[in-house]
Chains A and B, each alone.
Chain A
Amino acid sequence: MALIYNTLRNNLLALFAWLGVIALVVLLWNLAIAIHDHITISEEMARGAETDAVIRLSYDLRREDMAMYQSLSGETAFIPLDDSATATEAAFLRARTELDGHSGGNHQNAVSILSMMQEGLSVRRDAANAALRDDPAQRAAALRDWRRFLDTAYPDLEEISHAMIAEMGTPSAQTARLTSLRYFALFAFRVQIGNRFAIERALEEGAPGTDRLTLLAEPAAELRGAANLAEDQYIADDSVAADRIAKATRFILTVYLPSEARVLKELQAGEPRTSSRAVWRSASHNAVELLTMAENALSAEAAERLELAESRNHAAIGLWGGAVLLCLLLLASAVHFTLKRIVHPLEYVHARMLQLANDDMGVQITATSRLAEIQAMYDALQVFKENGLRRLRMQTELARLNDRVVATNQAMTEEMEAAARVQAAQLPIPCDLPGARFHALYRPSRMIAGDTYDHVTLPDGRTRLFQIDVSGHGAAAALVSVMSHIAVKNALLQAAPTDGLDTIIARVNGEWKDSLPYFTLLLVEIDPRAGIARVVQAGHPPLLRLPRLGGVEAVGDGGMPVGALPWAEYEEVVCRFNPGDRLILTTDGVTEAADSEGRLFGDDRYLSLLSRHGRAEVKTLFDSLDSALWDWCGTEAFEDDVTVLVLEAKEPVYAH
């Protein structure tokens, strides 16, 4: 199974999968962080909007309160009350809407408190507006009622604000400082306006006690401390909000608080002056305006900072989201490219290599590649195919040639066998001759032979027998052998009965063509009536005579081969050939038979063999000679033709 999965394709895909997983984990982690930031920022913006609405409501409510106070107390001739009322109503609506959109018991509670507050305010506002047209006594009564209502409303609003601030938790870095400054502004605003009313009341009532004066002076000290702290925090900041808060703070510290101190001092001295009070009231009004402007700037900047954070967060989400998509796209295209350009071509090459290895040359290599290595493989594949085709053609050609060689060899063998049969047909079979029995052992070395023999019986009972050995063997030697056979036999047939054997051979020698190879010859004439044999030896091993009583003797001492030299002379030798005697004619194939190391069988072994078996049955003699030669050569195929002829003298018929 492991083998199936351990492919190039699977390895590459696994590699890509690992790389892809790692890249995706990194990118998705960053994306998750950005999304988490987004949730945080969104929540912060929602809380910010709620807090904002409640704070604005505080501002607007106090502003209306101040306007209403100024109108009812107759401090100013005309204050546009409708504007401040509209602003307050809008602030209530906004605060309720923001809080309503938020789930949670506290908020629902806050919403119902705000609703009741709005209704109560609306009733008092209407009453106050009506009282404005009445006498001063009515106005004072309306103002007292208004005052009483708002003095209970402010703590409720304060409580809601505190709950909102508590719910916001730890503000983020972007908004922390702004939030604390807003608290400062809100605090300054509340303290300043609250104290204003307290001081106004004290001024109206006149001659306050020391305790009350100390109480009236306390908020100024708190305000101074807070303003100093806020100023310290804003030294390094150069934003619009910082500028506004700095202005407001400086105004409170340098104008408002000194004017308030003067009013309180005069009150303590029991001689309050109208001019000081007017200056203080104007400063109070300006402080309220400056703090409102500062709050507006702070609110705007807080929103702006959150929006900036939000847009950065959107950019981050876009960036990481895009990176994830790009990564997936790159991964997909890398996988696609690798499969298309590398894996598929390699599989293509692999499949065709296997086909070529199976000698399937029908395979078509049509693919091309823009990658140099792959193209080189395709080219190599084409070369393999061409080589394969060439090899197959050569194999076919070789097989065809081999068939032809086998066929030719077969034909030649058949022809040689046919030739051998023709050649053998001219050889006489073993037979009885007048006064003798003729035996032949004939072992041609290559089917056709250079050895040949024949005999001619004369009318007077003499028989002339010849054995020929043409030098060399094979077809040419066989042809020469046949020619010499005919030449000698013709010479024997045409010779006069009185012609000596030496004369006949000399005649053949003289007529033998110079261009033909020579041959050796042993010509024997047996004369049973005389009990003798005559021999001419022509380059041939000597005639061997085995007398009836034992021994082996060579007859003659040599003579020139026939056809070697035209002037050659021959001599006839005579020996006894009595009944029981054997004459043996041998070609040199016997004595020159060589063993595997080139050693010759030799005369001595041959003579020894004849001593032992020469007088046995001729078949036994031939068998023992055959087996001795085979043993010597180690093979049944002799290098040279082997011919042994035996003439065995019989008891003459006429003797009985």
Chain B
Amino acid sequence: MHISARTERGVLVLTPDATRLDATTAATFRDTLIGHIDRGAHAMVLDLSSVSFVDSSALGSLIAAVKRMGPLGTLAIAGVQPAVARLFSITRMDRVFSLHPGTAEAITGLSAG
């Protein structure tokens, strides 16, 4: 799995090119996110528009990233598909991450915040 990174209006936008985020890629996913955070990214948009499935391991990676950012950082997630949205809903992670329909809205949300 490759996660492309670009900066838009001062916000780091990460886009994984996978359709599934599961146990096989969770470690890479987690290390990539932690890496960006450790290099100083405190406002981050994760574009999951191509991801149709997220399992508990990948969710663990997201939680680890949120913990690493601390209370001052914000992780916004854009373009979640229904199954992923349902997972976030069941685990109440929709209250931890800010969910947006697309990356533009997410960036705007972060800039405003």
Residues of chain A touching chain B, judged by Cβ–Cβ distance below 8 Å, are 469, 471-473, 514, 517-518, 520, 537, 539-542, 557-561, 564-565, 568, 588, 592, 598, 600
Query: Of residues B56, B66, B95, which shows the largest number of chain A Cβ atoms within 10 Å of its Cβ?
Result: B56
Chain A residues near B93 (CB, 8 Å)?
Answer: 560
Q: B63 near A600 (CB under 8 angstroms)?
A: no
Determine the residue in chain B with the shortest Cβ distance to A588: B56
A518, chain B: closest CB distance, angstroms = 6
A542, chain B: closest CB distance, angstroms = 7
Determine the residue in chain A with the shortest Cβ distance to B61: A471
* B92 proximal to A (CB < 8 A): yes
Q: B92 near A558 (CB under 8 angstroms)?
A: yes
* B25 proximal to A (CB < 8 A): no
* B59 proximal to A (CB < 8 A): yes
A3, chain B: closest CB distance, angstroms = 61
Q: How far is the CA of A469 from the CA of B56 in the complex (A)?
A: 9
Q: How far is the CA of A564 from the CA of B93 in the complex (A)?
A: 10
Determine the residue in chain B with the shortest Cβ distance to A640: B55
Q: A471 near B90 (CB under 8 angstroms)?
A: no
Q: How far is the CA of A520 from the CA of B90 in the complex (A)?
A: 10
19 A-B pairs with CB atoms under 8 Å apart are A469-B56, A471-B23, A471-B55, A471-B56, A472-B23, A517-B60, A520-B56, A539-B90, A540-B90, A541-B90, A557-B90, A558-B89, A558-B91, A559-B90, A561-B63, A561-B91, A564-B91, A565-B66, A568-B92
Q: Per-position contact with A for B1-41: 1 when CB-CB < 8 Å, else 0?
A: 00000000000000000001001000000000000000000
Q: B59 near A560 (CB under 8 angstroms)?
A: no
Chain B residues near A472 (CB, 8 Å)?
Answer: 23, 56-57
B66, chain A: closest CB distance, angstroms = 8
* B96 proximal to A (CB < 8 A): yes
B77, chain A: closest CB distance, angstroms = 16
Q: A471 near B59 (CB under 8 angstroms)?
A: yes
Chain A residues near B96 (CB, 8 Å)?
Answer: 560, 565
Taking A471-B57, A517-B60 as known contacts, 17 extra A-B pairs with beta carbons closer than 8 A to each other, sorted by chain A number, are A471-B55, A471-B59, A472-B23, A472-B56, A472-B57, A539-B59, A539-B92, A542-B90, A559-B90, A559-B91, A561-B63, A564-B60, A564-B91, A565-B66, A592-B55, A598-B20, A600-B83
Q: Per-position contact with A for B54-92: 1 when CB-CB < 8 Å, else 0?
A: 011101100100110000000000000001000001111
Chain A residues near B57 (CB, 8 Å)?
Answer: 471-472
Chain B residues near A598 (CB, 8 Å)?
Answer: 20
Q: A560 near B92 (CB under 8 angstroms)?
A: yes
Task: Decide: A518 near B90, CB < 8 A? Known: A472-B23, A565-B96, A600-B53.
Answer: no
Q: How far is the CA of A592 from the CA of B53 in the complex (A)?
A: 9
Q: Per-position contact with A for B96-109: 1 when CB-CB < 8 Å, else 0?
A: 10000000000000
Task: Decide: A537 near B59, CB < 8 A? Known: A472-B23, A600-B53.
Answer: no
Q: How far is the CA of A537 from the CA of B90 in the complex (A)?
A: 8
Chain A residues near B53 (CB, 8 Å)?
Answer: 592, 600
Task: Decide: A520 near B91, CB < 8 A? Known: A472-B57, A565-B96.
Answer: yes
Q: How far is the CA of A429 from the CA of B43 in the complex (A)?
A: 50
Q: How far is the CA of A539 from the CA of B83 in the complex (A)?
A: 14
A644, chain B: closest CB distance, angstroms = 17
Q: B55 near A560 (CB under 8 angstroms)?
A: no
Chain B residues near A558 (CB, 8 Å)?
Answer: 89-92
Determine the residue in chain B with the shortest Cβ distance to A571: B92
Chain A residues near B60 (CB, 8 Å)?
Answer: 471, 517-518, 564
Q: How far is the CA of A644 from the CA of B23 in the complex (A)?
A: 22
Q: How far is the CA of A514 from the CA of B66 in the complex (A)?
A: 13
Q: How far is the CA of A356 from the CA of B90 in the complex (A)?
A: 70
Chain A residues near B59 (CB, 8 Å)?
Answer: 471, 539, 561
Q: A565 near B91 (CB under 8 angstroms)?
A: no
Chain B residues near A541 (CB, 8 Å)?
Answer: 90
Chain A residues near B20 (CB, 8 Å)?
Answer: 598
Q: How far is the CA of A541 from the CA of B56 in the complex (A)?
A: 11
Q: How far is the CA of A514 from the CA of B55 in the complex (A)?
A: 20
Q: How far is the CA of A135 from the CA of B56 in the complex (A)?
A: 178
Q: How far is the CA of A520 from the CA of B93 in the complex (A)?
A: 13
Q: How far is the CA of A540 from the CA of B90 in the complex (A)?
A: 7
Task: Decide: A559 near B55, CB < 8 A? Known: A471-B60, A517-B60, A565-B63.
Answer: no
Q: How far is the CA of A451 from the CA of B96 in the complex (A)?
A: 25
Q: How far is the CA of A600 from the CA of B19 in the complex (A)?
A: 13
Q: How far is the CA of A600 from the CA of B82 in the complex (A)?
A: 14
B82, chain A: closest CB distance, angstroms = 11
A565, chain B: closest CB distance, angstroms = 7
Determine the residue in chain A with the shortest Cβ distance to B88: A558
Q: How far is the CA of A600 from the CA of B84 in the complex (A)?
A: 13
Q: How far is the CA of A598 from the CA of B56 in the complex (A)?
A: 16
A596, chain B: closest CB distance, angstroms = 14
Chain B residues near A559 (CB, 8 Å)?
Answer: 90-92
Determine the residue in chain B with the shortest Cβ distance to A600: B53
B106, chain A: closest CB distance, angstroms = 21
Q: How far is the CA of A568 from the CA of B91 in the complex (A)?
A: 11
Q: How far is the CA of A540 from the CA of B91 in the complex (A)?
A: 7
Query: Of residues A520, A560, A564, A565, which shows the largest number of chain B Cβ atoms within 10 Å of its Cβ?
Result: A564
Query: Of residues A517, A539, A541, A598, which shows the largest number of chain B Cβ atoms within 10 Å of its Cβ?
Result: A539
Q: How far is the CA of A646 from the CA of B57 in the complex (A)?
A: 26
Chain A residues near B23 (CB, 8 Å)?
Answer: 471-473
Task: Decide: A518 near B92, CB < 8 A? Known: A471-B56, A472-B23.
Answer: no
Q: B56 near A565 (CB under 8 angstroms)?
A: no
Determine the residue in chain A with the shortest Cβ distance to B93: A560
